[in-house]
Amino acid sequence: MPVKVGLLALQGAVGRHAEALAACGAAPVEVRTADQLAAVDALVLPGGESTTISMLLESSGLAETLAARLADGMPAFGTCAGMILLAGTVLDGRPDQRSFDAIDVTVQRNAFGRQVDSFEADLDVAGLDDEPFHAVFIRAPVVTAVGDGVAVLARIDGRPVLCRQGVVFVSAFHPELTPDLRLHRLFLDTAFGNAKEN
């Protein structure tokens, strides 16, 4: 059976992530309840509005289950707002906003500007082949500091925008908005090796 990868589906679009994961051989599952979260092998936390997602995690009863799964080593991939949720420290979040400290990074929300400041860039990504990854940044956060155990896989203007610590990946951009599957595949390969194809 392919690995079941949950898609946190409380707010924000998950369809493109689901398509990418399925194309990589995983079984995507939308997650809105604690029981659904308990049934998956990994979780993608997509873009959206991080404060809204944080509040919905609390009101849905998912927050504590998610915290426990992450503490137990569940693989996770947070993109844009998902990066903020997985971070150890959020510099400019609301006082009641929760982050899950799944990766030892400090994140600044909307660091690249507002919606009108969205942009695209080609990134050199450690762990991929020589072909750059075309990245889409939309109201993107940025990593301002990383802990000793964090690998910075890509930077833009010297600032980290793709990081990994163990089986937790975070990106400031939206890898699902391009047809390039290499980052989803890298996440799955790091977390599960060939298990996703068995």
Active site residue 176: yes
CATH of the domain at 144: 3.40.50.880
* Helices within the chain (DSSP H only): 15-23, 34-38, 50-59, 63-71, 81-86, 182-192
pTM > 0.85: yes
pLDDT in tens, 150-169: 999 999 989 999 999 999 99
Q: For 173-187, what is the mean pLDDT?
A: 96
Q: Single out the catalytic residue among 17, 24, 163, 174.
A: 174
- Tell me which residue range forms the domain holding 30: 4-197
Q: Could you tell me the pLDDT band of residue 186, with boundaries at 50, 70 and 90?
A: very high
User: What is the tally of structural domains in the chain?
Assistant: 1
Question: Do 143 and 185 meet the contact criterion of CB atoms below 8 Å apart?
Answer: no
Helix (H, G, I), strand (E, B) or coil at 31: strand
What does the pLDDT look like over 13-38, one tens digit per residue?
799 999 999 999 999 999 999 999 99
Nearest-CA neighbor of 173 among 128, 114, 120?
A: 120
Give the C-alpha separation, 174 to 47, whole Å. 7
pLDDT at residue 40 above 90? yes
| Options 17, 24, 163, 176, the catalytic residue | 176
Q: Which of 24, 80, 163, 184 is catalytic?
A: 80
163 is catalytic: no
Q: How many CA atoms lie within 13 A of 1 on its CB side?
A: 7
pLDDT tens-digit map of 57-94: 999 999 999 999 999 999 999 999 999 999 999 987 66
Token look-up 């939308």 returns 30
